[in-house]
Amino acid sequence: MTRTLTTILLLTFGPTSFGQNISVDTLFLPKKEKLTHFQNDKLKFPIIKTGDFKIDNLINKDLKIRFTNNEFNDLPTDSTIIKWADEQVIYLDFKVTYKKSGLISLNISAEWCGAYCTGWTDYFTYNYITGQYLTIDQIIDTTGNFKSLVMADKDKQYEQQKIELKEMLLDKDSGLDDDTYKWALEQYENCDKEFTLKSFALHSDHLEIIEKCYLPNAIKNLTPTIVLKYKYVDIKKELKIKN
């Protein structure tokens, strides 16, 4: 093990522990001297522990492969994340949003800085009894009423975002010009058309469908806000899980 790797701390915290069957450890990455002007002590990655080595290995390997897009697949999680973060990831943290009935849902947020800084969040749900990664259609029926509900809500919200963008254009104090308006509007329409019922997160009382609409850095401040949250009690007929 290299000197760099020995600086990693792997600790279990009470607030992130969820009973006898599962806990979430925090992998702290070593501080980078070249990035001392950033708050790069916020470099944390989740490590799932169920008490079953086979299940732990299945989940943690799958999690790091999915998050890093299969980079350094032959390395253990700590080495993979260090190499993946390199000298340009300035923020890495996670949040557990759900743990119940054998399921755990969590998200990992990161920020990467090159010529510009780009932030994003990825979402993951696992069955911690089997170690299986779960897709949205394993959580809820996406072929009927629920899909129609989500699509209608998404369309309505995009239309509202377009209205608000138009209002900004008409407001002389907003600083939004015609070219920027047209550019942002085109991005909205592209995001709307490319939406898929795929990314999601489980919460204590609701299911959230994640709409990711990433705008170019120059107009990032115009990113549309699309919120698609559904209480379990309202979608219980379509749910495939107990909550």
Domain ends where: 91, 115, 134?
134
Are residues 78 and 176 located together in one domain of the fold? no
Are residues 163 and 226 located together in one domain of the fold? yes
Q: How confident is the model at residue 137 (pLDDT cuts 50, 70, 90)?
A: very high
For the chain, the straight-line distance linking the first and the last C-alpha, in angstroms and rounded, comes to 42
Domain ends where: 88, 108, 134?
134
- Overall domain count for the chain: 2
Question: What's the mean pLDDT in 133-144?
Answer: 96
Looking at residue 104, which CATH number applies to its domain? 3.30.565.40
Are residues 162 and 117 located together in one domain of the fold? no
Are residues 190 and 96 located together in one domain of the fold? no
Question: What's the mean pLDDT in 141-161?
Answer: 97
102 inside domain: yes
Are residues 168 and 218 located together in one domain of the fold? yes
Domain that holds residue 173: 145-234
243 inside domain: no
Percent residues over pLDDT 70 in the chain: 87
140 inside domain: no
When the pLDDT of each residue in the chain is averaged and rounded to a whole number, the result is 88
- What count of other Cβ atoms lies within 10 Å of the Cβ of residue 136? 20
Domain ends where: 134, 156, 184?
134
Are residues 76 and 165 located together in one domain of the fold? no
Are residues 208 and 114 located together in one domain of the fold? no
Q: How confident is the model at residue 4 (pLDDT cuts 50, 70, 90)?
A: very low
Write out pLDDT tens, residues 170-216: 999 999 999 999 999 999 999 999 999 999 999 999 999 999 999 99
